[in-house]
Amino acid sequence: MSVPFSMEWRIITGGKEKRISESDNLFEIEFDGYKLFPIDQPIDVMRFESSDQIGTAKVVKITLTDHRTICTYQLISLYNIN
C-alpha cells in the first residue's frame, strides 16, 4: 500500500482547523497522507484550493503518524474572517 506524500507551500483548511491556544493564535489541522510544510516561514492560509488567501501562518510543528499529518501552526495575520 502506498501512502500519498506531498510538499506543501500553503495550508488549505477546508474549515477543519481547530484552535488549540487563543493567546498564541495556535491552530491544528489534520490531513490524510503525509505532507511536509516549511517550518517557521510565513506561508499562505486558504479556506479552499480555489479561494482567496485568508491569512498568513508559520508552521511550528508537524507530526506524521498512521498515514496522517497533524500540522500545528500559528496564525500571524488574518485578512478575512469569512
How confident is the model over 15-70, as pLDDT tens digits?
A: 999 999 988 999 999 999 999 999 999 999 999 988 888 999 999 999 999 999 99
- What is the maximal distance between C-alpha atoms in the chain? 41
Write the CA distances from 30 to 11, 39, 58, 79, 80, integer angstroms: 11, 16, 16, 23, 22
Res 80: pLDDT:
55
Distance in angstroms (rounded) separating the CA atoms of residues 13 and 7: 16
Entry pTM: 0.89
Contact between 45 and 37 (Cβ < 8 Å): no
Q: Domains (ranges, CATH) in the chain?
A: 5-78 (2.40.240.20)
H helices within 17-63, ranges in order?
none
